[in-house]
């Protein structure tokens, strides 16, 4: 039962955690999980590769969303144009998700199971901390 709870927590972390790349740039975490120089180099390559791909798609997605918003602001929007934009937005969102998932898989291939477990523990603990917000 305890193992099932850990698996559920790990899956929750995988789905809801911030990108691993951000945390793998944290010097304290790098030391804590014991990344080797080779691992750090490979991780940097993976992150750079995925960031380049994301940088190509994200602006296009923003433009398509703006175009859809402008179209829907018209008195009589063209339904076919709206449908085409929605399909394009969906395609771009799918591409972004695939890039992020591929990045996560590649990062996991670089890490040992023990290092992955340490990261997951860190992510779960990080999620539990209450965030302080300024409220007037």
Q: Can you give the pLDDT at residue 34?
A: 92
Q: Is residue 132 over pLDDT 80? A: no
Q: What is the mean pLDDT of the chain?
A: 83
Domains of the chain, start order: 18-115 (1.20.120.1490)
Q: Which one, of 39, 37, 16, lies nearest residue 106 by Cα?
A: 39
Mean pLDDT of 76-105: 97
**Highest mean pLDDT: which range of 21-25, 32-36, 48-52:** 48-52
Banded pLDDT at 11 (limits 50, 70, 90) = very low
Residue 117 and residue 48: Cα distance in Å, rounded? 24
Q: Please check the confidence at residue 88 and state whether its pLDDT lies above 50.
A: yes
Average pLDDT over residues 60-81: 97
- 20 within 8 A of 52, measured Cβ to Cβ: no
pTM attached to this predicted model: 0.72
Total length of the chain:
136
Residue scoring higher pLDDT (77 or 27)? 77
Q: Residue 98 class from Cβ within 10 Å (0-12 exposed, 13-18 middle, 19+ buried)?
A: exposed
């Amino acid at each position: 039962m305890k193992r099932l709870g850990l698996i559920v927590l790990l899956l929750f972390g995988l789905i809801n955690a911030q990108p691993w790349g951000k945390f793998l740039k944290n010097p304290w975490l790098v030391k804590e999980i014991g990344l080797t120089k080779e691992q750090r180099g490979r991780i940097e390559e993976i992150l750079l590769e995925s960031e380049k791909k994301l940088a190509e798609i994200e602006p296009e997605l923003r433009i398509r969303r703006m175009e859809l918003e402008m179209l829907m602001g018209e008195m009589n929007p063209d339904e076919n144009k709206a449908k085409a934009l929605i399909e394009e937005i969906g395609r771009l969102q799918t591409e972004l998700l695939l890039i992020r998932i591929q990045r996560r898989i590649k990062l996991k291939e670089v890490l040992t199971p023990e290092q992955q477990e340490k990261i997951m523990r860190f992510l779960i603990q990080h999620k539990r901390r209450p965030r302080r917000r300024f409220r007037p």
